[in-house]
Structure 1
């Protein structure tokens, strides 16, 4: 069995533990050997209170964990940044990381990895609300707030809460292949196993909702009609504004320029088409408004750090 040591502390996020634990448990039912054994650990044995009032039992004290550890998984939670001063916790994480096959964190568990020196010189992610502070506290880490998970060598970090499930699925895929990870995702009634490069938000969530109703309607129009002419002059005419005024107001109220919003929306449409259809890439490019396979490839690599063909093969919802 692959031994997964899940590190907890008072105030941790319950789903950061329960989500990956259920992924590993489901995977163990689908593979002959080796499966996974999740071991909940903390500085001391006994009850550990999650944020929200649920209590779990840590059956193992971290100081008593001996080799071998396959996966060291540090969960997160609102209290994680407050625990960086717990020297026993941080030192035990550092000790176990030296011999574990791989190290992973969910959400703000990245703070504890960083405090243990495990993110120095590495790319990492965390919950988008915590990313700026993580970067400020640990400037030797390259913090990227966008992806849902990042692998840098043997260190994996993920975004917040449910992204821990995506991280665990990626670890299963590394061990047993993407087909098994998709089966686990379907068994857990997840839409699909998302790639790490996918952003923490869908396109509508990645731009603020405008205050003005005409701009909110325009956002909806863009998302529903990606193959239309969505140039700034055309969009400005739809709102009855001059091009300059439209660009300024749209950017001010959404946080992104009209051109960037259109590109994101088209990229998101292309992603959904790759997930749910068997259309060839040239048709996906046309229907998403990206025009050519070359543009589709460039935009997809920029937004999700994976080629569109690879994305379809690895993450299409329907089993091939």
Structure 2
């Protein structure tokens, strides 16, 4: 059941909804595994969305009765927790108590927090809002760099498309990995991201540089991670002195060149660990670490986990590594 407030973020509703809908379409047995329902959290059955496309609910929150398998609370643009009426909070608590599991997408976590459903739990939300959630609700442990988090029967996800990642995980939990991967492929999801992964992409961050020369340099570096990418070599590529290059780089990207390149290499290695069966030595060479031990140290610094553990947790193929890092 999706509980939507006025100004709902459309993709927070439609993305997870389509995951479950696709699971119904691909399920080869009867009955279908999911019965999808949209419920209006406030006002009448018409729900305005932040993008302007209206939705029509089948019922209002007041008329809902349990039991409920999965209660999903998407984000609502501009909705402050204190704007949710005490009556609506009581209904949310009632529905949550009747639900097998409770899910928030993006800033839907603020609504669950206002209802007291996140007290003492580990949660995540959109990276822009994590510090605000932690400040408002100090009893919550906010990890705002995670894709999604499960704590007991409460699941919280990061912003927008992360809701689809969480829905895929719920589907896998319910009906198995094979169907979850078929749905992900059907929806042309580029990569199946698992909980615990960071919301941030180093490659995407490289595009915030104001200078075209820096953006072009980092695009080149991403494609040549096995080359010499020392400060001196990078500075020479853009015809700057190493000292001036390091200063400009830190100003525009908020990091030293060495740390940024290390994160690029770790991100590339992560993708290979998730999607390929290449051994660790091959990955370390292709990503420019120079050896397995150097890659292991980099993973510990950046991700707080060694490569073999990362692959065991996040790999999208059936290979489980027995390699020693």
Q: Same fold (TM over 0.5)?
A: yes
Go from structure 1 to structure 2 and tell me whether the alpha carbon gap of 1:65 and 1:122 turns closer, same or farther (over 3 Å shift): same
**Could you tell which deviates more after superposition, 8-17 or 48-57?**
48-57
Q: Quote how far apart the aligned CAs of 1:171 are.
A: 0.6
Q: Quote how far apart the aligned CAs of 1:186 are.
A: 0.8
**What is residue 30 of structure 1 aligned with on the other side?**
26
Go from structure 1 to structure 2 and tell me whether the alpha carbon gap of 1:121 and 1:68 turns closer, same or farther (over 3 Å shift): same
Q: Aligned to 2:195, what secondary structure does the other structure show? A: coil
Alignment of structure 1 residues 10-25 onto 2, 5 Å:
10-25=6-21
| 8 Å CA contact 1:105, 1:158 repeated in 2 | yes
Go from structure 1 to structure 2 and tell me whether the alpha carbon gap of 1:139 and 1:246 turns closer, same or farther (over 3 Å shift): farther
Q: Quote how far apart the aligned CAs of 1:85 are.
A: 3.2
**What is residue 80 of structure 1 aligned with on the other side?**
79
Contiguous gaps of at least 5 residues in structure 1:
none
TM-score computed with the length of structure 1 as normaliser: 0.86
Q: Quote how far apart the aligned CAs of 1:142 are.
A: 2.4
**What is residue 219 of structure 1 aligned with on the other side?**
218
**What is residue 154 of structure 2 aligned with on the other side?**
155
Deviation digits for residues 49-106 of structure 1 (CA, Å, limit 9, x no counterpart): 1122222222222233333211111011313336643222222222222342211111
| 8 Å CA contact 1:83, 1:112 repeated in 2 | no
Q: Quote how far apart the aligned CAs of 1:35 are.
A: 0.7
Distance 2:178 2:144 in 1: 28
Q: Quote how far apart the aligned CAs of 1:304 are.
A: 5.8
Distance 1:299 1:114 in 2: 36
Q: Quote how far apart the aligned CAs of 1:262 are.
A: 0.8
**What is residue 284 of structure 1 aligned with on the other side?**
283
Distance 2:113 2:130 in 1: 12
Deviation digits for residues 240-270 of structure 1 (CA, Å, limit 9, x no counterpart): 4454443332111112221221122112211
**Could you tell which deviates more after superposition, 279-288 or 51-60?**
51-60
Q: How many residues align?
A: 316
Distance 1:15 1:28 in 2: 19
TM-score computed with the length of structure 2 as normaliser: 0.85
Distance 2:182 2:100 in 1: 24
Q: Aligned to 1:199, what secondary structure does the other structure show? A: coil
Go from structure 1 to structure 2 and tell me whether the alpha carbon gap of 1:36 and 1:222 turns closer, same or farther (over 3 Å shift): same
Contiguous gaps of at least 5 residues in structure 2:
320-325
**What is residue 2 of structure 2 aligned with on the other side?**
6
Go from structure 1 to structure 2 and tell me whether the alpha carbon gap of 1:303 and 1:100 turns closer, same or farther (over 3 Å shift): farther
Q: Aligned to 1:197, what secondary structure does the other structure show? A: coil
Go from structure 1 to structure 2 and tell me whether the alpha carbon gap of 1:132 and 1:319 turns closer, same or farther (over 3 Å shift): same
Distance 2:314 2:183 in 1: 13
Alignment of structure 1 residues 157-176 onto 2, 5 Å:
157-176=156-175
Go from structure 1 to structure 2 and tell me whether the alpha carbon gap of 1:302 and 1:219 turns closer, same or farther (over 3 Å shift): same
Alignment of structure 1 residues 1-320 onto 2, 5 Å:
5-31=1-27, 35-43=33-41, 46-81=45-80, 84-207=83-206, 209-297=208-296, 299-300=298-299, 308-309=307-308
Go from structure 1 to structure 2 and tell me whether the alpha carbon gap of 1:40 and 1:272 turns closer, same or farther (over 3 Å shift): same
Distance 1:76 1:302 in 2: 33
Q: Quote how far apart the aligned CAs of 1:182 are.
A: 0.8
